[in-house]
Chain A
């Protein structure tokens, strides 16, 4: 019998394709190859889904709410939740603008149409300042969807949709899996947002099973959230793409010039400041190298200033946010990829770098370090050692050669189909228990 999965996710390409969306896409694609039927619920669909997609995409915005069908109205639903308050000015998940307009619209709709026969709740699907409010609306809809969609398992990705998973379980009684791709403790270190943390903790405690993308994340779930290890399974992420050909039009470099790349959100979590400090140390030894910080985030200005202070501005380049094609070009042009994250649940970009024949230096505080043994590994705070490794890669060609030979070989084993197989086993395990 084919398993039916009701899956909740905040991202799905092309509807926001951050790392989470890509992971969701690749995982579900491989699951469908293993005869798993998936209904994937997004906050909103910005365009019509492809016709031959491997799963059924549902938009929460399109769900009609029939007053008479619901035990609680949305307002009653909200009043029943006392873990968190809503509509508070939270720090956004990523820096994005424009949300107030929606809020107005939503409020008016709630006031006017709620009393009518049916109405919709609208979603931006972004990570706006009212993300938490949206998360609650989304979970309310999840309860409705859960009644209309036959399923054996509920599977939710990250905290934005975890409440939805719990809400769905209330109605269907099916086991709920909380798939953790990132935690608030990764994103914010010790300055955690209490609301998100509490929400995560609540969901982690409620979940019938937790899937963590690495042992690193599993340990954080145990350590920072006090969760019983026996219900946490580790399923590593993977990379779906095959070897790519190098195309480097974006950056023209001199033959003897090397490029060291940082790619990702320029935020506390990703440790771009450590990258910059290491860059300064390498530049004391050689000037024939450029350091590229590709991505945007709240630390950019601070880092630009710091690079000026270190007098390395001429060799450090900030590109801002890059589109996918630009990302590929910057990978192609690079000689070393550095992931200096302070706390990285996985880090698929390191696997991508290898596909572009770029050797990687990985923070030991990451999940990808568990699967990519043929990489250089460094504590994110050890900028001396990071500089030492960057310099060695620039100076000794045999190092790059061996790293790439071995890592490419290793990458063949890091396939989504293997991860999907593990997830499927967890599905089977959970449905067996219930029988």
Chain B
């Protein structure tokens, strides 16, 4: 009896405002409020609101047979509360059905694991509290930003008590094995890992509207046939993707909503297949093998590595510069400063600085509010220059008081 496991990522970064040398030491507010608000409303109207309604209708239609899971970043929830609370309410209605699992992540959708385990754990805790407060829900599954995963991410999540963790089902870590079984991270005895079936996931997320694709147009019927084809050689088909796939990356006009509306019925037409969420999947199936992942993998680009956020001079310099401030920032015990700093750790800032445009260019440009990675870096460093000055001033002030 194979499971079909849907997980959708919901995330909106707090984009930075245009910040030049002339703003340094003059303006200490860094967020692009207007742009963030505008983008949020656009995505809410095109994706979050209609898709949530669709998912809710599906859940009702199948009387609990249709199940899905979400990971919603803290910055996304903040923006829902600030710009359009109806979006948050519609997510709450979904969670209230009992057919939705919420997944744990770092509050700021950050790259903190790569630089500071302390900060990583602080952000997970902060996210946990937020989910508890807004949804009355405690997550049992963890996913790291952009599915960044390695043995060490898994052991940390294991230590924090999660029973499932999500990762990319790339050949780099699977070798001859396939993604459609439950694995256990090496050196762990509790936590289990679920791997994204990237072919099937990307058929929906990336290729759905691609007219150059031989399988275009993709119908629910056809897609279900592919999924059913795994019967006998799979225990879980993990379909992980950005939630913005629905209505935002794939516009409504492409038929993505009709596709999603029709999909569960077709998938369930094969009686062996059931929908389950990650924490259910790891309970139902036994571990088939150990998974050893010494090097980081992610779900990004064709490389499935960290190179979208880390590795070029701009990114490494920006990351080093911001993490260098960690201790200094926390010593101020200033909640506002700490939050500003944490928001600067959001992965998107570093994604904008990615210079390997030529193979993965389209996706990067689509998500990028800057004209070039260089402008993204300049803006970020200008902000950081001012922020450091503010932190220094606060530190000096505190020392004076002492």
Chain A: residues with CB nearer than 8 A to chain B? 281, 285, 373-377, 384-385, 387-389, 391-392, 395-399, 401-403, 405-406
Contacts and interface: CB of A to CB of B under 8 A. Distances in A.
Nearest to B312: A402
Interface in B263-314: 312-314
Interface of B: 20-22, 312-314, 316-318, 355, 357, 371-375, 377-378, 381-382, 385
A392 B375 CA distance: 10
A406 B382 contact: no
B377 A406 contact: no
Given A392-B381, A396-B377, A402 B355 contact: yes
Contacts of B372: 373, 376-377
Given A396-B377, A402-B313, 6 more contacts: A377-B372, A388-B382, A392-B21, A396-B317, A398-B318, A405-B312
Best-surrounded residue of B318, B373, B378, B385 (most CB of chain A within 10 A): B378
Contacts of A403: 374
Contact of B20 (A376, A385, A399, A405): A385
Given A376-B372, A398-B317, A399-B314, A388 B377 contact: no
8 contacts: A374-B355, A374-B374, A376-B372, A384-B20, A392-B378, A392-B381, A396-B381, A398-B314
A371 to B, nearest CB: 13
Contacts of B314: 398-399, 402
Contacts of B371: 377
Contacts of B375: 376
Given A399-B377, A402-B312, A373 B22 contact: no
Which 6 A-B residue pairings sit nearest by Cβ, starting from the closest?
A: A398-B317, A402-B313, A388-B20, A392-B378, A398-B313, A401-B313
A374 B281 CA distance: 46
Interface centre among A281, A384, A396 (most CB of B within 10 A): A396
A385 B20 CA distance: 7
Contacts of B312: 402, 405
B360 to A, nearest CB: 14
Give the most central of A391, A402, A403: most B CB within 10 Å. Answer: A402
Most buried by B among A377, A395, A406: A406
A237 to B, nearest CB: 21
Contacts of B316: 398
B307 to A, nearest CB: 13
Given A377-B371, A384-B20, A403-B374, A392 B313 contact: no
Contacts of B22: 281, 384, 387-388
Contacts of A405: 312-313
A374 B358 CA distance: 11
B378 A399 contact: yes
Given A377-B372, A384-B20, A398 B355 contact: no
A326 to B, nearest CB: 29
